[in-house]
Amino acid sequence: MIISILGGAGLMGAGIVRDLLSDRTIIDITRIRICDAARSRMEELKAELGDERLELVDLDVGKADVLSNAIAGADICINCVPTLLGFQMAIFEAALAAKVPYIDLGGLGTYTVKQMAEHERFKAAGVTAVIGAGADPGMSNVICRAVADQLDEIDSIKLYWAAELVGEENPVLVPPYSVSTVLAEYAHESTQFYDGKHVTCPPMSGREYLDLPEPWGHCEFMHSPHSEQLTVPLADGIREKGIKEFSWKLHLPHREHEAWVGLVKAGFGDFNDPVVVNGVEVKPLDVLNKVINRNIERNRDKIPAQDSHEIHFAIGIGRKDGKPATARVEVVVVPDPMYGPYVDACTSMNGSIAAQLILAGEKKPGVWAPEEYFDVPAYFRELEKRKFRISSSLT
């Protein structure tokens, strides 16, 4: 099988490449096209991994012919190009034109509604697309499906993600993923599902405090723009169970959370509106990225070793066999040597899992969110192979 990974030398793309080359793979891969604009990063990755199946493709997603050639003839296209660059729909449409199955990692739900609206076109063309197939969204959607499957009737599902860092406090702000994504999570309105309909909620609203096991402890969660709340309450097998509430809330590590709140208060949440400095028009995001990256490079020797712990969980309230019931499913990711070469093992490994399960099974043409496409037991088996800890309860 031939796999094209667009943005394949980026942080998430490189992680997907690593997982596809591991002994965890369930499909026969003959070639992996690493398609990226950064030739030097592609060459470094290929030299490091040293696998003859890796093919380097210079990519300019703004050029239709170059994009088409990167996708053509592949068995699946994995889109890891950052969503906020604005090329999501062009890549999505290019996969349809080439009749190549497609997945992406989501991106705050920016294009989710537009993509889902193309379901019938993809279905008629016999092309499969699964959107938002990383960790959150992606694995989180499958967790919600696992919760929903335990209940006969659903009143609400609440979805949470919390991260915490263990070790000496870091004097340097190191973003957990792209700065634009973090700022958008803190500064932008979100769509949640309340009273049986989608509603718009202010940034950092819906504050909720939960006591979790260590190392997370007492956590403050907040609404954040994401795609799960756009698809899960409308999914077959969930919608008809009467769901009236679905929310997604975020908790980043405690001290880093304070830093991001401060940056939003300082005005960096409006990262697309330029400002004029000494007669030169610049974007705040460009300035912030440069400053953060410079600070990281200048103080790299001061950055301590820290272990990242993640917990992804959903709580469903409803009824089972006519009696009130609460279903809870959680996935915990704790440090492991397996994750050492990855920047974000959870996201990239889940992207790899999604692509492999699509290729290994009978494809369903159309545009799908993960909760409607993947079989929960099969998906969870892949998580367990990667040492993700899964627990489930019904009370």
Q: How far is CA 124 from CA 29, 132, 338, 358, in A?
A: 28, 22, 41, 18
User: Which pLDDT score, from 0 to 100, does residue 298 have?
Assistant: 96
Q: Mean pLDDT in the chain?
A: 96
Q: Strands, E, within the chain: which ranges?
A: 2-6, 31-36, 54-58, 76-79, 102-104, 128-130, 153-166, 190-194, 197-201, 208-211, 218-223, 245-251, 275-277, 280-282, 307-320, 323-333, 366-368, 389-394
d(CA 10, CA 13): 5
Q: pLDDT tens-digit profile of 221-246?
A: 999 999 999 999 999 999 999 999 99
Predicted local distance difference test score (pLDDT) of residue 326: 98
Under 8 Å between Cβ of 91 and 81: yes
> 139-340: same fold as 2-134+344-364?
no
Q: What is the pLDDT of residues 362-380, one digit of tens each?
A: 999 999 999 999 999 999 9
**Cα distances (angstroms) measured from residue 39 to each of 45, 58, 390, 393:** 10, 7, 39, 48
pLDDT mean over 111-127: 97
pLDDT of res. 23: 96
Question: At the top level of CATH, which class does the domain 139-340 belong to?
Answer: alpha beta
Predicted confidence at residue 271, as pLDDT, reads: 85
Q: Where are the domains of the chain?
A: 2-134+344-364, 139-340
Element (H, E) at 148: helix 139-148
Percent of the chain with pLDDT over 70: 100
pLDDT higher than threshold 90 for residue 136: yes
First to last CA, the chain: 44
State residue 196's pLDDT score: 97
- Reported as a single tens digit per residue, the pLDDT across 178-212 is 888 899 999 999 999 999 999 999 999 999 999 99
Average pLDDT over residues 295-302: 95
pLDDT at site 337: 95
Residue 389 backbone dihedrals phi, psi, to 5 degrees:
-95, 120
Tell me 60's DSSP state.
-
Per-residue confidence (pLDDT) for residue 108, from 0 to 100: 83
What six digits make up the tokens of 182? 């973090």
CATH topology for 2-134+344-364? Answer: Rossmann fold (3.40.50)
Confidence class of residue 83 from pLDDT cuts 50, 70 and 90?
confident
High-pLDDT (> 90) share of the chain, %: 93
In this prediction, residue 82 has a pLDDT band, given cuts at 50, 70 and 90, of confident
- Which pLDDT score is estimated for 38? 95
CB 123 within 8 A of CB 366: yes
pLDDT band at 314 (very low <50, low <70, confident <90, very high): very high
Residue 272 has pLDDT above 90, yes or no: no
How much is the pTM? 0.94
pLDDT for residue 180: 87
Q: Quick check: 85 pLDDT over 90?
A: no
Q: Which of 327, 310, 309 is nearest to 318 (CA)?
A: 327
Q: What would the mean pLDDT of 8-15 be, rounded to a whole number?
A: 95
Question: Residue 317: its pLDDT value, please?
Answer: 98
Predicted confidence (pLDDT) at residue 84 exceeds the cutoff of 90: no
| Mean pLDDT across 274-279 | 94
The pLDDT assigned to 255 comes to: 87
